[in-house]
Amino acid sequence: MPTSWADSVSAAENLAAAAPPKSAYVPPHLRNRPASTDPPAQASYAGAAASGQGQSGYGGPNVGGSRWSGPRNDFQSGYGGGGGRGGGWNSRTGGWDRGREREANPFAEDDAEPFVEPENSGINFDAYEDIPVETSGDNVPPPVNTFAEIDLGEAVNQNIRRCKYVKPTPVQRHAIPIVLSGRDLMACAQTGSGKTAAFCFPIISGIMRGQFPRPPRPRVAFPLALILSPTRELSCQIHDEAKKFAYQTGVRVVVAYGGAPINQQLRELERGVHILVATPGRLVDLLERARVSLQMIRYLALDEADRMLDMGFEPQIRKIVQQMDMPPPGVRQTMLFSATFPKEIQRLALDFLSNYIFLAVGRVGSSTDLIVQRVEYVQETDKRSHLMDLLHAQRANGAHGKQALTLVFVETKKGADSLEHWLCMNGFPATAIHGDRTQQEREHALRSFKSGNTPILVATDVAARGLDIPHVAHVVNFDIPNDIDDYVHRIGRTGRAGKTGLATAFFNENNSSVARALADLMQEANQEVPAWLSRYAARSSHGGGKNRRGGNRFGGRDFRKDTSFNRGVTDYYGGGANMSSGYGASGGYAASYGGAGVTSAWD
């Protein structure tokens, strides 16, 4: 296997356009299942689950009166009552957590992964030290500084150590106490800043501690937590992460996504599920087949929430959350996470939340400085040769070290196929991922890219959000997206977890509509804005393409603060906004935004 980008290029040149080796398809959730020698722990959840057999209270089949009448605080008592027979929760066979099924060690792959650094030492926490944080809503729980301050339980703490997380990132410092206190949350924090753990840790801990009744029907899965994400690959990634965080806790995580055999997923679900990670389409299928019920959902997390509530997904999300049997807001706990939150999406999100806290982490400067952004003027017809120049220069300079991976974003699936073909023909080891490829092809491409076998990945927006691929040193926006938020997510595939990265965009006349948003974004992130781009920006009459940030360029402002929203609404938050971190004292930050309290959540 080639060990570096340069080796890969040479190997590819030697092998001409040899196809990558085909491996037998194994769905992600079935991989790495060597028989573990570690017996699953009998965590507190197992005991709690086994004793919590009550059918009374909310969600039970014979609830009289209002189905959702109990306040959320009563949830645990509602579930915890009753005795009944022992046995695992949600399993025909008496429960996976009773030791009948061996839990594969999810950390085994990390140990065997050649590219993984010995420690998570690459994280540069100094970059996050004075990141401004803004919270709004009433009675916001105070943040923590260390994991030790949060009582997540010993099993989770041990997994945090196994992950080599030394201290919480800012979004984790603030979000975890909020979720643990039972509040709904809309959290906006920059790409690569650890949002996945921010929602997974409190969910796992809550399930471990909670008392829940026995599921009412066999052969139907009754998850306690649902994590929805927009793409199959992201769902798989969240599943992999959550399995690490939940290792030996007794909490079982299952993933369901389209494009993979449903029968296998059904079998996994039948073995029992506490946390279901899913893409909306496959979940709707499972719900319609009555193989999953949402009536016991205690936690709902939408990752990439703005995308999930965008036009494409909104009907499916409404169906799942509002039209099936999921408890309503106020009974379940709802968490929305993203790096971007356009105002109209925040408005839509009100339907899913109850008295929520808005959390914005990040400001212009510190963390975005991690991603150096460049924009180059490149005519449509010159893009390929320009890309080749970049790749050659990168190879010549050995830029970004041996393991550098380059992610090239294009607008269309056809464009991705054709660029991949052209790169391969020209001796560059490239692969591609887009929505018209089979799931097997998509997963193969991603694996080949991650491993460094094909260190160039040509992608559509299917790879723009959430994917956490170590060693992506360069993101090229071969085609600039029309929506500036998509640009934010795309470039966020590099410069993650405190590491630095480079993002290059090819701009031409076709992108004039986004010029202003792009220039503003770069400026706010302390990037050098070329004079020609500023001229385009000045000519642009509207805010910049599908810039839905509407006046406030950054997605991090709580829209409840807008006068239009507040008209007729008295003191929505009660407590008002709270600022923390060094920035509040400096005073310079609000001024730099030209508006009091406006925060950039993405940087």
Ligand X SMILES: Nc1ncnc2c1ncn2[C@@H]1O[C@H](COP(=O)(O)OP(=O)(O)OP(=O)(O)O)[C@@H](O)[C@H]1O
**Minimum CB–partner distance for residue 602 and ligand X (Å):** 9
303 three-class SS: strand
In this structure, are strands 472-477 and 133-136 parallel, antiparallel, or unpaired? unpaired
Question: Among residues 9 and 339, whose Cβ is nearest to ligand X?
Answer: 339
**Minimum CB–partner distance for residue 358 and ligand X (Å):** 17
* Per CB under 6 A, 460 contacts ligand X: no
* Per CB under 6 A, 195 contacts ligand X: yes
Question: Among residues 59 and 132, whose Cβ is nearest to ligand X?
Answer: 132
Phi/psi of residue 334, nearest 5 degrees: -115, 135
* Per CB under 6 A, 165 contacts ligand X: yes
Question: Among residues 336 and 533, whose Cβ is nearest to ligand X?
Answer: 336
Among positions 470-499, residues that touch ligand X (CB under 6 A) are: 492, 496-497
Question: Which of the ranges 189-197, 387-395, 407-415, 434-442 carries the binding residues for ligand X, by CB under 6 A?
Answer: 189-197
* Per CB under 6 A, 466 contacts ligand X: yes
Nearest to residue 169, comparing CAs of 499, 594, 586? 499
User: Which residues sit opposite 472 in a β-bridge?
Assistant: 405
Token match 């009433």: residue? Answer: 138
Nearest to residue 475, comparing CAs of 451, 499, 448? 499
* Per CB under 6 A, 367 contacts ligand X: no
**Minimum CB–partner distance for residue 345 and ligand X (Å):** 15
Residue 203, amino acid: I
Burial (0-12, 13-18, 19+ Cβ within 10 Å), 388 = middle
Q: Which of 123, 185, 277, 309 binds ligand X (CB under 6 A)?
A: 123
* Per CB under 6 A, 235 contacts ligand X: no
CB count in 10 Å sphere of residue 1: 10
Among positions 262-321, residues that touch ligand X (CB under 6 A) are: none
Find out whether 43 and 89 touch, Cβ atoms under 8 Å. no
**Minimum CB–partner distance for residue 278 and ligand X (Å):** 17
Token match 């930050």: residue? Answer: 589
* Per CB under 6 A, 197 contacts ligand X: yes
Among positions 497-556, residues that touch ligand X (CB under 6 A) are: 497
Degrees to nearest 5, angle at CA 297 with 291 and 302: 100
Instruction: List, in order, residues 6 or more apart from 94 with CB less than 8 Å away.
Output: 87, 88, 100
CB count in 10 Å sphere of residue 392: 12
* Per CB under 6 A, 213 contacts ligand X: no
Question: Among residues 387 and 472, whose Cβ is nearest to ligand X?
Answer: 472
Among positions 81-120, residues that touch ligand X (CB under 6 A) are: 120
Q: Which of 179, 221, 287, 339 binds ligand X (CB under 6 A)?
A: 339
* Per CB under 6 A, 256 contacts ligand X: no
Nearest to residue 96, comparing CAs of 236, 239, 273, 218? 273
Which residues are at the interface with ligand X (CB under 6 A)?
120, 123, 165, 168-169, 172, 189, 191-197, 339, 466, 468, 492, 496-497
